[in-house]
Structure 1
Amino acid sequence: MTGEADTRKRRVRAAVRAQRSERSEAARDRAAVALSAHLTTLVTQAGARRITCYLPTPGEPDPSQFLQWALSHRIEVLLPISQADRTLAWAYHSAAPPEVGLHGIHEPAGPRLPASAAGTADLMLIPACAVDNSGTRLGWGLGYYDRCLAALDPAPPVYAVVFAEEILPSLPRDPHDVPVTGAATPAGIRSFHIQTR
């Protein structure tokens, strides 16, 4: 990664953090309702019966209502667990209260599944800082999802969950970056024309 690309990534992350922190509680609530509706439509139209999703951190697009819908409609949801080696394990979403895991992020209770479990999903919904129009996803710099996606062959369709303003014209792409299929936002679903390397 060049110094220029690294600087740009840091700037984008700082701008996204600032925008997310300024969003009012009412705006976050409205966004959560809209996001849930779009995620429900996406999963239903895809006919997905097993998906990945996430438990949100403060300020992130909140899929909690969608997760409740998935549970009531018997959609299997794998939620991520951060491990010390910067890989992800998974556990099924359930009605059990979440636990606080590595980095202070809420994680599902229950038996751990290996990183490869994500490859059994029909559809992956993953968090992101930003994404661009070619499917380049920018995370928060620890590389958990980069490692996860790179290890899946083939990978199911992958949608980054962001706010609409976090879909940018372009982002720096590293050789190890795996492009995502699309973006899910409170404003709707976007699919990208992915350029393979």
Structure 2
Amino acid sequence: MSPDPGNQKRALRAELRERRQNMTATEREQASEALTRNLIELTTELSAASVAAYLSGSMEPNTRPYLNWAFDNGIRMLLPISREDGLLDWTVGDGTTEAEGLYGMPEAVGELLGPIAINDVDLILVPAAAIGADGLRMGWGRGYFDKTLGSMEKCPPVYAVIFDGELVDEVPRERHDQPVNGVVTPSGIVRFS
């Protein structure tokens, strides 16, 4: 009998969560600075005028310095709001106003634009627990981003934002899992063919 991908994912998520919790403040700060540079490079390279991103939680790679840069440079930032039906709604973030979302994660506050608002962006940045070398994304288990990406008619480039060491040989696969076009880590940008 082959191992259950759900159980494999739970074990891997627990390990990754522990690794993130063990990072020092200095390691986080250095990762944040390098990550911000790489996110700016990717956005500039793609000439993205509109980006779907997210407010990072305390254990995630810090997206806020990048979001601040984007706001300062007139890039339209769509930020997700979790809905109880498992879909993501979107709002245009102002870079300062936040509230606690459904699962205790930080979310932007603003006018709700509906789940299809994401169809108009030039770049999508998504959180992840790990990414396989084939581009398969393993999230944290709620399925919001898989549903969103799986429902898009034409998808702009999608990049996962992860720490170094979270790009792994492979992740356990389930049918609903969606691949990404690349990853942004503190040490660089990796694109999948």
Which residue of the partner structure matches residue 115 of structure 1?
115
Report the CA distance shift for 1:192/1:96 in structure 2 as closer, same or farther (over 3 A). same
Cα deviation digits, residues 21-64 of structure 1 (max 9, x gap):
00011111111111000000000000000011111111100011
Cα deviation digits, residues 82-133 of structure 1 (max 9, x gap):
1111110011110442111211111111101111111111000010111011
TM-score (ref. length: structure 2): 0.96
Secondary structure of residue in 1 paired with 2:14: helix
Work out whether 1:184 is the aligned partner of 2:184.
yes
Structure 2 distance, partners of 1:133, 1:3, is 20
TM-score (ref. length: structure 1): 0.94
Work out whether 1:31 is the aligned partner of 2:31.
yes
Where do 1:1-197 residues align within 5 Å? Answer: 3-193=3-193
Secondary structure of residue in 1 paired with 2:103: helix
Letter in 1 for 2:7: T
- Percent identity between matched residues is 38
User: Runs of 5+ in structure 2 lacking a partner?
Assistant: none
Letter in 1 for 2:186: P
Secondary structure of residue in 1 paired with 2:61: coil
Give the total of aligned pairs.
192
User: Runs of 5+ in structure 1 lacking a partner?
Assistant: none
Q: CA deviation at 1:183?
A: 0.5
Which sits farther off after the overlay, 5-14 or 182-191? Answer: 5-14
Structure 2 distance, partners of 1:95, 1:147, is 26
Structure 2 distance, partners of 1:95, 1:21, is 26
The RMSD of aligned alpha carbons is 1.1
Structure 2 distance, partners of 1:167, 1:96, is 31
Cα deviation digits, residues 142-184 of structure 1 (max 9, x gap):
1100100001011111001001200010112222222100001
Q: CA deviation at 1:3?
A: 4.8
Secondary structure of residue in 2 paired with 1:118: helix
Structure holding more helix per residue: 1
